Homo-oligomer: A and B are copies of this chain.
Amino acid sequence: MSTLSSTADDILACARSLIIAGGYNGFSYADIAAVVGIRKASIHHHFPSKVDLVRTLVQLYREDARAGFAELARSAADPREQLANYAAYWEKCIIEASDPFCVCALLASELPALPPPVAAEVRLHFETLSAWLTSAFERGSASGLFRLAGTPQAEAETFMAIVHGGMLSARAQDDPRLFGDITRSWLNRLAS
C-alpha cells in the first residue's frame, strides 16, 4: 500500500512516460494536467516544483530498481541466468513498448543540464546498477561459470553500456528486437 494518493501516482506515471519520451525539458505541467485530467495548479499541490516531481520520480524508480535486483537474485541461483533475466525484463518492456527506456539512462544523457538535485539522484542509480552487476560477475567468476575478459568491475561496465546502448539503438533504428539480439549475443559469449 502506497502512502501516495492515486492522483499523485497518476501524475508520477504520466511524468515518467513523458520523460521517457523526451527528457526533463520535454514535458510541462500543462502536458501532465491534460493527461491526468486535473488543472495545472493542482499538480503543485502534490509536487510543489518540477524538481520535486522529478526527484521523487527518480527516487521511486531507484527503489523499484533495488527491489528488482533483489527479485532477480531470487529468480535464479546462476548469476548468468540472473543477468539474462535482467536483460529479458528490459526486452519485454521495449517490445511491449510499455516502458521502452530507462528513465535514468535518458536523464543521464542530459545530465549537464539537469537541476542538481535530480542529477544527483540519477548518478546514484548508476552506482547501484553498477554495483549489482559487478557482484553478479564476481559470483559468476568465483564459481567458474564465466570466462571474464577483465575484472568483474570492467565486465559490469561493459554490460551496462551494452544495455543502455542497446536501448538507444532499438529506439533510433525503430527495431525493438534489436535490444534482445544485442544483449543475448553478448551474454552467450560469457559461457565458459
* Residues of A participating in the B interface, judged by any CB pair closer than 8 Å: 21-26, 101, 104-106, 108-114, 122-123, 126-127, 130, 149-150, 154, 157-158, 160-166, 168-169, 171-174, 178, 181-182, 185-186, 188-189
Tell me the minimal C-beta distance from A130 to chain B in angstroms.
Answer: 7
15 A-B pairs (CB sep. < 8 Å): A21-B113, A22-B110, A22-B112, A23-B25, A23-B110, A23-B113, A25-B26, A111-B171, A123-B173, A126-B172, A127-B173, A154-B182, A158-B162, A161-B164, A165-B166
Main SS at interface, chain A:
helix
Whole-angstrom CA separation of A174 from B114 in the bound complex: 14
Whole-angstrom CA separation of A188 from B23 in the bound complex: 35
Are B113 and A22 interface neighbours, CB within 8 A?
yes
Tell me the minimal C-beta distance from A76 to chain B in angstroms.
Answer: 23
Chain B residues whose C-beta falls within 8 Å of the C-beta of A171 in the assembled complex: 108-109, 111-112
Tell me the minimal C-beta distance from A62 to chain B in angstroms.
Answer: 13
Whole-angstrom CA separation of A122 from B174 in the bound complex: 12
Looking at the complex, which one of B26, B122, B168 makes contact with A165 (CB distance below 8 Å)?
B168
Question: Taking CB as reference atom, which chain B residue is nearest A153?
Answer: B181
Given A106-B109, A161-B169, A166-B165; A185-B22 close (CB under 8 Å):
no
Chain B residues whose C-beta falls within 8 Å of the C-beta of A154 in the assembled complex: 181-182, 185
Question: Taking CB as reference atom, which chain B residue is nearest A162?
Answer: B161
Question: Taking CB as reference atom, which chain B residue is nearest A179?
Answer: B161
